Amino acid sequence: MKTNGLIRCPKGALIDMDGVLYDSMPCHALAWQTMMREEGLEFPQEEFFRMEGMTGSATISALFARAGREVPPEEEIRRMYARKSELFTSLGARVLMPGADRMLKALEDAGVERVLVTGSGQRSLIDSILADYPGAFLPGNMITSKDYARGKPDPEPYLKGLSLLGLAAREVVVIENAPLGVQAGHAAGCFTFGISTGHLPPDELLESGADAVFSSMPEFADALPEILRNARN
């Protein structure tokens, strides 16, 4: 673990989905790349790892702008995101992140309430959370791309999570895997764990404002019970 700060006793946790609960980012990157290729735009897969956490429509707008193409109207963006979602689902991408179940159990055992906070509108994953992680989340404890106007790296998704919990930022931790998500958690004022589960180096998460960084989810799950015990003292 590398750490920038000291954790306070948490009452709530705001937990990202892709790359944290599901090992879904490789399939997302492939689905994005394929969809954009169908639109005549070529991007390396790493591009999509860097944009991870943004909403689908923000991702599409940013990629068109970057390619020097006119940003498509909203209806076209919706069609493209539906196509990307279809490609993602066809890849059969529902792979649980190793260690995520133990991470959630450690929070539950310490009496920390959990809320999902995702930039995704990918129903095939969101709708599966309650079955894949039984008891980890109350049915209403989810903030998805439909619940806010400005996506990560803006703090709004995490601020919505805080108001759902009815807690202050200092009472809540964020669990993220991507630079833009870490930025959002940090900007919301929460102690932010950065878990490097993908292609980007852990130091990028520290630079994005993570308070503590782990190099894998199993490593984080191993350390979390003690972190929470110490935070309580």
Q: Say whether residue 188 binds Ca ion (CB under 5 A).
A: no
Which amino acid, residue 48? F
Q: Is 19 in the site for Ca ion (CB under 5 A)?
A: yes
113 binds Ca ion (CB under 5 A): no
* Binding of residue 178 to Ca ion (CB under 5 A): yes
What residues have CB less than 8 Å from 78, skipping those under 6 apart? 57
Report the DSSP beta bridge partners of residue 172. 12
- Choose, by CB under 5 A, the member of 10, 14, 18, 155 that binds Ca ion: 18
| Both tokens assigned to 7 | 């954790």
Looking at the Cβ atoms of 49 and 64, the one nearer to Ca ion is: 49
Confirm or reject binding of residue 177 to Ca ion (CB under 5 A). Answer: yes
The label of the residue with tokens 């049915």 reads 139
- Smallest gap from Cβ 40 to Ca ion, in A, equals 28
Helix 156-165 and helix 179-187, axial crossing angle in degrees, nearest 10 = 50
Task: Give whichever of 217 and 224 is closer to Ca ion, judged by the CB atom.
Answer: 217
197 belongs to the binding site for Ca ion (CB under 5 A): no
User: Contact at 8 Å (CB) between 53 and 153?
Assistant: yes
- Cis omega (within 30 of 0) for bond into 157: no
**Stretch near Ca ion under the rule CB under 5 A, chosen from 7-15, 125-133, 164-172, 177-185:** 177-185
Least Å distance, CB 230 to Ca ion, is: 26
**Residue 4 CA neighbour count, 13 Å, CB half:** 18
Minimum CB separation of residue 145 from Ca ion in Å reads 13
Point out which span in 148-156, 162-170, 175-183, 223-231 binds Ca ion (CB under 5 A): 175-183
Examine residue 23 and tell whether it contacts Ca ion (CB under 5 A): no
Output 96 or 231, the one with its CB closest to Ca ion: 96
**182 with 208: CB under 8 angstroms?**
yes
Check the CA dihedral 185-158-233-103 and report its sign: negative
Q: Contacting Ca ion (CB under 5 A), which of 16, 113, 154, 211?
A: 16
Helix (H) or strand (E) holding 158: helix 156-165
**Sole window of 18-26, 80-88, 196-204, 222-230 interacting with Ca ion (rule: CB under 5 A):** 18-26
**Interface residue list for Ca ion (CB under 5 A):** 16, 18-19, 177-178
